[in-house]
Amino acid sequence: MSAEGDVARDDDYRDLYDSAPFAYISTLADGTIVQANQAFYQLTGLGAAETLGKKRFQSLLTLSGKVFHDTHFMPLLQMQGHVSELAFDMVTRDGQRAAVLVNSKLSIDRTPVLVRTLIMEARGRRAYEQELLAEMRKAEEALVAKTALLNTLSHEIRTPLGVIGMATQILRRKELTADQEKYIGIIASSSNRMLEVVNDILDYSRITQGKLALVLREFNLRELVESLIESFMVKIDDRSIYIRGDIDPSIPNMVMGDPVKLRQVLTNLVGNAVKFTDRGGVTVSVRVLGSSHGETALQFDVADTGIGIAPSRLSRLFKDFSQADDDIEMKYGGSGLGLSISMKLVELFGGTIRVQSQPGRGSVFSFSIPLKLPAPMATGA
C-alpha cells in the first residue's frame, strides 16, 4: 500500500482537523504532502488532486523560504523533533504571497516517518492577539470600575454606620424599658455586622489592587494573643461556651512583624469559630516550629467544637465571596470574604493556611508564618 494510503487509513482524526480553523498538513520526510485539510486548500487555492503525493511543502514557499526550509527548518526539526512559530511566505495558486507561522512535529513512532505541520496566517494571528488584548483591557477597566465603586459605596456606608453606633451607645446610657433595650441591641448588632462586611470589602479591594503591605514593627506577641482572647470572652459572656489560650511558654514575647494584620487574621478565625460553635468552645494555640538566623517560625491553631465542615465543602472555604454552604450563609450571614482575606494576609506574611474538619466534631484552622526577632534576640539566637 502507498504512503498516502497508510496515512488516510491510520489517521483517526481526519474529521477533526478537516474542520479546524487553521491549515494542517502531513508530509513525508522529503516534504511531499500526503494529507491536508480544507483550511489548507482555502489558504493556497489548491485542490487535493493536484496536491496529495505531488507537491512538496517547500515548493509552496518563496525562494528565500525554500532556502530557509532546507538550511534551518529541517535540520532544527530533525535535531529537536519539533519547531514552533517559524515565519514563512507561502505562494498561493494565483501567485499571491501569504505570510504564515509554521508549527511542525515529527511523528517517528510510525513508518513512514511523518511531519505534522500546523500553518497559521500571520495576519489572522495578529488580529487574534489584538482581539485578546482588547478583551484584556476591557476586563481590566471593568475591574478598576468595580473596585472604585466598591470603595465609594463602602466609604459612604461606613459613615452612617458609625453614626448609628454612636447613637446606640448614647441611648443605652438612658433609662430604657426592656423592649427598648432589646430593640437597641438589635440595631447595634445589625450595624456592627454591616460594618464588618464593609470593612471586609474595603480590605478585599485593597488586596486585589496590591495596595496592602506589611507594616513591620516590634510588638509583644503574647500580649496580642491574650488581649484578643479577652475581647472575645466579653462578647460570649452571655453564651455557654468557652474561649481559652494555649500559648507555648517558649514563644518569644517580642517579635518583629505587622501586629494589626496578624490580629486581623486571628480575629477572623476566632470570630468564625465562635459563630459556628453552640457548645464546647474555642482554643487558640501558638507554638514555635523553629528559630534560626534572626527569625522564628510560629504555628497558630484555632480549634473549635462547632458544627464542622463536610469534606466536599472544604475547597470552597478560601474562595472570594464564598461560604462553605449556602445554608450557612442564610443562617449565620457574613460576606464570605473573611477566610479569603485571611489567606491573602497569611501569604503576605510568607506563610500558609490550612483547615481540618469533621461535620459535627468541629474544625481546626492553622497557619504558619515566619516572624523576625528584634536585634538583641536575633544576635543571641
User: Region 100-124: what's the mean pLDDT?
Assistant: 85
Q: What are phi and psi of 87, to 5 degrees?
A: -90, 135
| Higher per-residue pLDDT: 103 or 315 | 103
In this predicted structure, the answer to whether residue 26 has a pLDDT above a threshold of 50 is yes
The per-residue DSSP string of 163-226 comes to HHHHHHHHHHTS---HHHHHHHHHHHHHHHHHHHHHHHHHHHHHHHTT------EEEEHHHHHH
Amino acid 209: pLDDT: 67
> What tens digit of pLDDT does each residue of 54-73 get?
999 999 999 999 999 999 99
Q: Which residues contact 118 (CB under 8 A, 6 or more apart)?
A: 22, 23, 24, 102, 103, 104
Amino acid 124: pLDDT: 61
- Which of helix, strand or coil describes residue 118? strand
Rg over CA atoms, the chain: 33
Amino acid 381: pLDDT: 47
Q: Which residues contact 157 (CB under 8 A, 6 or more apart)?
A: 194, 198
DSSP state of 374: P
> What tens digit of pLDDT does each residue of 340-361 get?
888 889 998 999 999 998 888 8
Amino acid 159: pLDDT: 74
DSSP state of 83: E
Among 173-177, 192-196, 232-236, the range scoring the smallest mean pLDDT is 192-196
Q: What is the pTM of this model?
A: 0.53
Amino acid 217: pLDDT: 92
